[in-house]
Structure 1
């Protein structure tokens, strides 16, 4: 991560209410095994079945943040943004043992404060919709996705 992104992230984090004991930082490639572990626990196959492409997706995305307690990665978010109008939240997950502590909200808030004038868009599983609504998202329509083989 370059110095500009680092300073931008530090400024955004000053505005976020972090849960006790949790830090948010930019991801590093050394974090990828934890990202694979958390993704697999959610039933998301790409990081383990297509590790090279998944790693590249992290390398080519921003914001890419991890939530850490002590030395353990307990959640992450991977977004894509034009920096002015839109940010798409491609992936957000918090370890099931750490849910309900405000970690997911803190990750989303950090994305928002990085680019406060952008809207945050995402596709959600039905069971996650109450969480996103509690974070201020509104349901606008069903998203669609096509996967390539």
Structure 2
């Protein structure tokens, strides 16, 4: 689901090489990382995972993905709202892709800074974003 989303949804904002590098996830390190976060999934009637999000105890939203076939149905909003509720007294942060930036801005996050990050030999623009006190 995550690879498909990156390849379909993010291709409009990132090059083919960037998308290839991004979707090449190291499953072991990713699983270890997610294991220390509060993670939520949304499944459809057929028990297919259609959305996923996770947040650290400190309020850092690490991942938020919705299957490319289920975009625009409020799944990301539901995930974010649930995670925010569990961290209501905290400042929330994330590193948002170019694609995700408008979603987060519409939900009260603001850009702290634009940054260029490296991943598997590719450079990406993304945005450090925050919601709450600066």
* TM-score, normalising length: structure 2: 0.68
Determine helix, strand or coil for the equivalent of 1:104: helix
Cα 1:58–1:123, aligned 2, differ >3 Å: closer, same or farther? same
Relative distance call for 1:126 and 1:56 in structure 2 (3 A) is same
Q: How many residues align?
A: 105
RMSD: 2.1
1:23-46 Cα deviation digits (max 9, x unpaired): xxxxxxxxxxxxxxx221114335
* Aligned-partner Cα distance in 1 for 2:110–2:88: 17
Q: Secondary structure at the match of 1:67?
A: strand
Residue 115 of structure 1 aligns with which residue?
87
Aligned to 1:101: 73
What are the ranges of 5 or more consecutive residues in structure 2 without an aligned counterpart? 7-18, 122-134
- The equivalent residue for 1:45 is 23
- Deviant stretches of 4+, over 6 Å: none
Higher helix share: 1
TM-score (norm 1): 0.62
Deviations 1:80-130 (A, max 9, x none): 123xxxx11111110121111111011111111011011211111112211
